[in-house]
Amino acid sequence: MAQKGHTDAEAPDVRQAFAPLRAQAEETAVTFSLEGNRQLKCILRKMPQNANNQKTVEIIFAFQGPVFAQHEQKQLFMHWGVGNHGHEWKGLSEELQKSLHSTSETTFPWGAAETAFPSPSSSPPPVVTLSFPEAQAPAFISFLFRTQFHEWIRQQGGGNLVLPVHQLLQENEQQTAFLDTIIAVKTDAVREKDASRPLLPEDIQYWKVPLGSGVDIQLVALTYHNAMAAALEIFSDSPAALTLYWSGACSPHDSWQAPSPNSLLGQPGVGCQEESSNAPYGDAGAPAPPAALDGVDPEREKARREKEKLDAQRIACTFGGFASYPQDDKAYWTQFEFLSIPGSQVSLQRVAVVIAGQAVPKGIVFLVREVKADRWFRAPGSGNFFVSLPTHKYWTVLRAEEEKRRKAEQERQERLAKQMADTFHEAVKLFEEGKPEREQRGTLSYRCVTLPEGVGFLDAYVYPNDAITEVYVHFTVCTRVPCVLHWGLLDIMGTAQTQTESRWETWKKEGLSQEELEKKREEEIRKRMAFRGAPSQWICPPPEMRPPGTVLVDPVRAVQTPFEEAKAQRAGLAAGNAGLQLLQQLTIRVPAHKCPRINEEDPGVDTLFDGIACCLKEVNGHRWFRSNDGRDIQIRLVEFGASVYKGLNAEMVEKIVEAEVEWQHMTLMHRYNLMHSFLDGFASKHGASVQGNASFQRREALLADLARDWTDCHFHSPELLLPMTFSPPPLPEFSPRLEDFLSLGAAVVEEERDFWAWLYVWGRFAFLGLLDWQRNYNTKPRELASASEQLTFATARAWRKYTEYRPLIRDCLSTMGRGGAQGQAIRDRILDIMHKHKIPESTGNFYEQWHQKLHNNTTPDDVGICEAVIGFLESNGDLKTYWRILGEHNVSRERLASYERKITCEPYMVHTNIGDLVNDFRSYLSILKDVHDALDIKKAFDYARQYLPHDAVGLVEQLVQELGTQRLQQKPMNAEDAMRRFQTLSEARKKIVFTLNQDGGKTRGARRDLPVLSIQPGAAKKTSDLHEEPL
């Protein structure tokens, strides 16, 4: 394509800069693999017109290394012919023979031509060039090589080599048109915008990407730079819209490291101004200038800044305007834009990226995606495209200044974060201090909620006015981020939408007697207590109930109301405190009626609605905060039969009771997740206590020192037994120290010990099957296994961290399933067993009923069921054995029938190899125990042995074997054996605990598996194969 409008005297620097690109447009290369691991490169060039106005085609045949070894005295000849298609071979016409020019002697034996290669054993490798007029160029050249001894060299795998000359000429024309178009576009841009000081490319790279069926697209990448930034510009001739997926990297195979968004210049929305304007330095997204140096002439400094401002504007405005969107914090998306080029037959699109000097990486790695077809283009060889970026010595100065700014900003953010954390902790302290008073004021109802993600707390208390015409719902929130209350009225019994007045008013209008009214009221109270946890619905509050500033967001269900700043004189909040800024309040008024009290549980207040359902929404954000269990927060207007428990951790106890009694859905997974949330809340509260209570902080420091002392003492004196917990020993000489120690943070310790006691009692009730393992919810085994695994890991971390409560935490750990990665295998393996042994998946048989239970709600009962099935099969179908083993696991016929996926049939002998079936069920039992049974001694040892020292492994292994042998023989121990067993157990426990205290916390697995193994001395569990005594 000719460059219209340019003369020879016009922009010579531009043409010179693009000379390498123009040279690339004139040649096409093909590489062949030959026998003997030889490589031959053929380069086809179109030469300028000669004196006879003829265009010439030049073909270079260049070996990429010596053809023969140095000692071999051989002559190499290229034996070649021409043809109209790839499989045709014929000699050269007389006209072509006359016009052919060769750099080496060429002869024309019958039906072929032969060209001698010079020095085939020398270095540099041999090269031969053939040239002929373009008009006489053959469609194909077929060739191979021979020596004077008639040894033939063909392509790898055999056959002649074929060079498609016409096809390469056509590709050359396409390539030339594409590159000439780019040169014309760039030359016009330089001439129109900046002919005096053009930004010329530093480097040019070209790729041709094959798409298949003889179709390909071309890409050209150009790099630029000045003192302030570097730019990458990419052109493509693809007719379909493209997107650039790019990042910074040191090489094509290096890890991707995206520059920060602030370092990308020329983004859309930033105006580009003329260089002569007095715009601020930061225009066009340019970086701020470095600060003036001491001792530098002000005028020179001013001139330097002005020049840097213009440099930044020039490169940003020249190549800017393309929006780059971050993707996964490691790369950016940037869309190509099509260029309108009148008279051109080339479809050209362009994209550019500009990066500030202080953030320029060593190179840009990228891929290209076709938007509509959603296909990706990679560099030839299936790798990433890579372009090295230029460098500038001044960028070192920019990077130093940027590092100073970054550190200053980091310090400022750290100070701000610390200030905000301190303010929040102060706010939490105020919130907690005022909680007792707010709870006392809540004569009708009180609810306190810990919000997820550590964002804060919410509580609400409800009380009536003196005339009992209204009840006030007063919210107090303490949050790290500003929020609004998203709320609606709560209708549990499903009548509030159809009634316009309270039930009490309706009954009075019906003319009922006082006795009948009291009976109705008593029945109403019983209903409300029975409907705790029943399905509920949101109702949009009527306009008269909405506080000022309320916005209607759902005309059927909900509104949003902003909070007000907390007032110091209300709800026990202290005045003049910084934390008061994070405390906000809101009062909602709800109509009510007075009615006679019929018993102590009746507050004498009746309302049309049951309560308020709500959650918090982040202001100017997209986060929603509900209760820790993921449910909406419900505030009852009148709490009938409220919890009488007023002791420590009352909020936790209330949540446990609510979950076990009121939740419509409850499974082991839900219980484990709720336990996990309690552990997170404990950690947060413990941290706040350490920071806000100097006495408790001193106690924690003493405990940490004591734990280290015990470990050091044992390291030097292995015979010294480590305690189960780390507390000062109650020896006479330590009595004063012990008395002082026990007084430190005593209230906090009492509350925290009470927390772990409640958690253990709750877990123990669930472990014994006294609480629902599954209620109205189907749990995938992998979800249950994941929840169990996360809980046991969190509890093991607590065992290691909170040394004072280790006995209780260890007891808690003994009530939990181990979990792990075998959850999905519970579903998959039972199907594999049924298919392998041709057990039908039809209703009405035991195996299919058990399979359905396993798929939808696997529980620890499945361990007992599997052992019972194994016993049944091994006893040749003895059902008494089956029911006996189930009874040992407390699984009765009624319990089997009570599952939502009922098991009502008994197992039967399958027509298969029973030995194989038993082995398969034993393997399946191991999977079930992996998920459900953390306290199986043999499995606990198998998982923990990799973290134990060699002597401990031998000791525990011997102990497990002894227990198994004794149980198998069913012989009682005498006093001497019992004492020896006790000593062995004590020594095993000592080694396990010491390993954990010394370095067992370095790996995640050790933090969980060693405490689980340490439980065994106090846990009455059985081994994988036998009912055994505890380790």
Q: Is the pLDDT of residue 477 over 80?
A: yes
Q: Of the segments 133-147, 381-395, 691-705, which one has the largest average pLDDT value? A: 133-147
124: preceding bond cis by omega (within 30 degrees): yes
- Percent of the chain predicted with pLDDT > 90: 26
Beta bridge partners of 590: 471
pLDDT per residue as tens digits for the range 521-543? 667 666 665 555 555 788 999 99
pLDDT at 4: 39
Pair 140, 162: CB distance under 8 Å = yes
pLDDT at 253: 86
pLDDT at 185: 86
Identify which of 636, 671, 638 has the alpha carbon closest to the alpha carbon of residue 655: 671
CA angle, residues 922, 872, 836, in degrees to nearest 5: 50
Identify the weakest region by mean pLDDT among 280-289, 330-339, 825-834.
280-289
Distances (CA, A) of 350 to 219, 221, 233, 621: 10, 10, 7, 36
Cα 858 from chain centroid? 28
Q: Which helix (H) or strand (E) holds 617?
A: strand 611-618
Mean pLDDT confidence for 475-490: 93
Identify the weakest region by mean pLDDT among 418-422, 689-693, 771-775.
689-693
pLDDT at 131: 92
Q: Of the segments 237-246, 311-320, 370-379, 725-734, which one has the largest average pLDDT value? A: 237-246
Q: Of the segments 658-662, 781-785, 864-868, which one has the largest average pLDDT value? A: 864-868
Identify the weakest region by mean pLDDT among 60-64, 125-129, 301-305.
301-305
What is the C-alpha to C-alpha distance for residues 826 and 415, in angstroms, rounded to an integer? 51
Q: Is the pLDDT of residue 660 over 80?
A: yes
pLDDT at 132: 92
Question: Is the four-CA dihedral 977, 978, 984, 987 of positive or negative sign?
Answer: negative
Domain residue ranges of the chain, discontinuous segments joined by +? 12-172, 199-392, 422-642, 685-813, 822-934, 935-1031
Distances (CA, A) of 978 to 111, 906, 963: 104, 42, 12
Pair 671, 759: CB distance under 8 Å = no
Identify the weakest region by mean pLDDT among 350-354, 403-407, 554-558, 761-765.
403-407
Question: Is the four-CA dihedral 966, 967, 973, 977 of positive or negative sign?
Answer: positive
Q: Please report which confidence band the pLDDT of residue 686 belongs to, taking 50, 70 and 90 as the band edges.
A: confident
**For 911, which DSSP code?**
S
pLDDT per residue as tens digits for the range 65-95? 888 887 788 889 999 999 999 889 999 999 9
Residue type for position 151? E
pTM above 0.75, yes or no: no
pLDDT per residue as tens digits for the range 412-445? 989 988 888 888 888 888 898 899 899 899 888 8
pLDDT at 711: 52
Mean pLDDT confidence for 565-582: 57
Distances (CA, A) of 812 to 457, 679, 799, 840: 26, 11, 10, 41
In degrees and rounded to multiples of 5, residue 21 shows phi and psi of: -65, -40
Mapped to the 3 state alphabet, what secondary structure does 827-840 carry?
Answer: HHHHHHHHHHCCCC
Residue type for position 625? F
Q: Please report which confidence band the pLDDT of residue 357 belongs to, taking 50, 70 and 90 as the band edges.
A: confident
What is the C-alpha to C-alpha distance for residues 228 and 314, in angstroms, rounded to an integer? 10
Residue type for position 86? G
Mean confidence (pLDDT) of the chain: 80
Q: Is the pLDDT of residue 843 over 50?
A: yes
CA torsion, points 925, 926, 930, 933, in degrees to nearest 10?
60
Pair 934, 818: CB distance under 8 Å = yes
Q: Going by C-beta distance under 8 Å and a sequence separation of 6 or more, which residues neighbour residue 35?
A: 153, 154, 155, 156
pLDDT per residue as tens digits for the range 869-878? 999 999 999 9
pLDDT per residue as tens digits for the range 442-459? 888 898 888 888 889 999
Q: Please report which confidence band the pLDDT of residue 778 belongs to, taking 50, 70 and 90 as the band edges.
A: confident
Q: Going by C-beta distance under 8 Å and a sequence separation of 6 or more, which residues neighbour residue 998?
A: 711, 715
Q: Are strands 27-34 and 445-451 parallel, antiparallel or unpaired?
A: unpaired
Q: Is the pLDDT of residue 596 over 60?
A: yes
Q: Which pairs count as long-range contacts for 401-407, CB under 8 Å and 24+ apart, including other chains?
A: 401/290, 401/291, 401/358, 402/287, 402/358, 402/359, 405/288
pLDDT per residue as tens digits for the range 200-247? 888 888 888 888 777 889 999 999 988 888 999 999 999 999 999 999
Q: Please report which confidence band the pLDDT of residue 96 belongs to, taking 50, 70 and 90 as the band edges.
A: very high
pLDDT per residue as tens digits for the range 241-282? 999 999 999 988 888 999 988 888 877 755 554 443 333 334
